[in-house]
Amino acid sequence: MATIIDVASLAGVSTSTVSHVLNETRHVEPETKERVMHAVKATGYRRDVLARSMRRARTDSIGLVVSDAGEPAFADMVHGVEEAAAQNGLSLLLANSAEDPARENSAVEALLDRRVDGLILARAAGSHAGLLQRIREEQKPLVLLDRLADLDGQDTVDQVGVNNHAAMKSLVEHLTAQGHRRILLVSGDLRVSSLRERYDGFLTAMQAQGLDAQDALLCEGTATAAASFDRVRPLLADPAERPTAILACSTLLAAGALRAVQREGLRVPGDIAFATFDGFTYSDLFQPQITTVRQPAFQLGESAVSLLLRRLDKPSAPPQVLRLESRIEFRLSTGTTS
């Protein structure tokens, strides 16, 4: 491989000049510049990214750690991040914590070791409190994605998520407008900020409708489809007691709850209404057609990169919290009996 020395000697200039031409970092006589560019072509020279990064503050790469690479919503976020990164000439280093805080920590350390210019994190449930502190002490630009930090009023970190409260409010209003009073919320692991927000939003919205928490059935802490199934099924047994609507806070939880509904021989929406966050692919093609709060996952990823670029540009700018709007796809599962 040709080095900058080869180019310099072929062009009859110093390596400084070659470097400055390549980086456009100081004025070079047009004629000299052209000689350099010719030498670059002739030698097939390609700048060594590693050597370059070692000298500069930047590596032109960013790191992304997601909590569950297997979930479609996160896959879409990854997609969005990749797209935006590539468009800005940044390479993307991807890691998956699989909801394991220890893996999350080592993934972050590996990325810090590789000197990524910045980090985007969709943290694991139960993410270690020290992690953000650690990244801060490394002074590494950071953007939280989807799973945000509750920084007691202080926005000390850039974040982008969806407006869970608003979406939940619309959903609850939609259900109560149709007479539903006993609504089962399958809320999942409340250490996850997005799930916590949906949970809080639910309670607030119910209260606003004059329904207190007594009216609500709450399944907290369920983290898997199997757990969701196990928790939901017993609640459906007694026709007099059972909820008239189920609201699942993630795809996994929805899958478990829906299976419970089917195992109990109930029909959606005939016997029970059903809605979910995130949801299933191509919902409109299948029965039951399920009302779904669809996150703009791809855009979340893109926005995370935007925030990061802004932070790289202006390290001291005030932190920004972005809330994108989810779109609610109303379908027959919460409509009148078909």
At residue 205, what is the residue type?
A
Instruction: Establish if 137 lies at the interface with its own copies (CB under 8 A).
Output: no
Report the nearest approach of DNA to the CB of residue 60 (Å): 11
Binding its own copies by CB under 8 A: which of 39, 111, 157, 186?
A: 111
Instruction: Establish if 262 lies at the interface with its own copies (CB under 8 A).
Output: yes
Report the nearest approach of its own copies to the CB of residue 126 (Å): 19
Contact 271, 133 (CB under 8 A): no
Number of residues that bind its own copies (CB under 8 A): 47
Binding its own copies by CB under 8 A: which of 251, 276, 306, 334?
A: 251
Among the residue ranges 15-23, 40-48, 119-127, 304-312, the one whose residues contact its own copies (CB under 8 A): 40-48
Task: Give the C-alpha separation, 327 to 318, whole Å.
Answer: 29
Report the nearest approach of its own copies to the CB of residue 83 (Å): 7
224 binds, among its own copies, DNA, none (CB under 5 to 8 A by kind): none
Task: Give the C-alpha separation, 5 to 14, whole Å.
Answer: 8
Output the CA angle 211-193-175, nearest 5 degrees. Answer: 30
Give 119 or 203: the residue with its C-beta nearer to its own copies: 119
Report the nearest approach of DNA to the CB of residue 65 (Å): 24
Contact 89, 60 (CB under 8 A): yes
- State which of positions 37-56 bind DNA (CB under 7 A): 45-48, 51-52, 54-56
Please name the residues in contact with 228: beta carbons below 8 A apart, sequence gap of 6 or more.
Answer: 186, 219, 222, 248, 252, 253, 254, 255, 256, 257, 260
Task: Give the C-alpha separation, 308 to 89, whole Å.
Answer: 13
Task: Give the C-alpha separation, 59 to 117, whole Å.
Answer: 6
Report the nearest approach of its own copies to the CB of residue 23 (Å): 15
Contact 145, 80 (CB under 8 A): no
113 binds, among its own copies, DNA, none (CB under 5 to 8 A by kind): its own copies
Instruction: Establish if 202 lies at the interface with DNA (CB under 7 A).
Output: no
Tokens standing for residue 22: 């390549």
Binding its own copies by CB under 8 A: which of 17, 28, 45, 61?
A: 61
29 binds, among its own copies, DNA, none (CB under 5 to 8 A by kind): DNA
Instruction: Establish if 29 lies at the interface with DNA (CB under 7 A).
Output: yes
Number of residues that bind DNA (CB under 7 A): 31
Give 26 or 38: the residue with its C-beta nearer to DNA: 26
Q: Is the dihedral of CA 249, 237, 272, 241 positive or negative?
A: negative
Give 76 or 200: the residue with its C-beta nearer to its own copies: 76
- Of 264, 245, 242, 256, nearest to 333 by C-alpha is 245
- Of 122, 217, 107, nearest to 160 by C-alpha is 122
Tokens standing for residue 262: 């089917």
State whether residue 234 is helix, strand or coil: helix
Contact 95, 65 (CB under 8 A): yes
204 binds, among its own copies, DNA, none (CB under 5 to 8 A by kind): none
Among the residue ranges 4-12, 88-96, 169-177, 324-332, the one whose residues contact its own copies (CB under 8 A): 88-96
Give 51 or 226: the residue with its C-beta nearer to its own copies: 51
Q: What are phi and psi of 190, to 5 degrees?
A: -75, -5
Give 45 or 229: the residue with its C-beta nearer to DNA: 45
Contact 203, 216 (CB under 8 A): yes
Residues interacting with its own copies, by CB under 8 A?
46-51, 53-54, 59, 61, 69-70, 72, 75-76, 78-79, 82-83, 86, 91-96, 98, 103, 107, 110-111, 113-115, 251, 255, 258-259, 262, 280-282, 285-288, 298
